[in-house]
Amino acid sequence: MKTIDKIKQQIEKNTILLYMKGSPKQPSCGFSSQSSQTLIACGEKFAYVDILQNPDIRAELPVYAEWPTFPQLWIEGELIGGCDIILEMFQKGELQSIVKNAAARRDNEKIIK
């Protein structure tokens, strides 16, 4: 599978997806730490991809996303942004509602299927 196809599949299959350095429990950079902690504070499950363990994704995703930096938060197939945007949206209360609504739709789909 081509890297770009793998990225598209990850984004499609994961309602809330964070591309980051490290993992939420062991982030490898401050921006990834802040972003994952902010998502955890939203109270919903999310998937993550450690780009340090996936150099192909680390190289290809910025081109696909037209976003040069990490972390990158994707919700329902849409790029939300990086750390600054994630924090700003959280502080305004916007991120919580986007995450909760996306998680509710995801969970409802699982019940229906």
Taking only the tens place, the pLDDT of each residue in 90-99 is: 999 999 999 9
Q: Report whether 21 belongs to an annotated binding site.
A: yes
Q: Report whether 42 belongs to an annotated binding site.
A: no
Burial 62-80 (b: 16+ CB within 10 A, else e): beebebeebbbbbbbeebb
Q: Report whether 58 belongs to an annotated binding site.
A: yes
Domains of the chain by residue range: 3-104
As a whole number of angstroms, the distance between CA 13 and CA 3 comes to 15
pLDDT above 70: residue 2:
yes
As a whole number of angstroms, the distance between CA 35 and CA 69 comes to 13
Is the domain covering 3-104 a CATH 3.40.30.10 domain? yes
Q: Report whether 83 belongs to an annotated binding site.
A: yes
pLDDT, one tens digit per residue, over 27-75 is 999 999 999 999 999 999 999 999 999 999 999 999 999 999 999 999 9
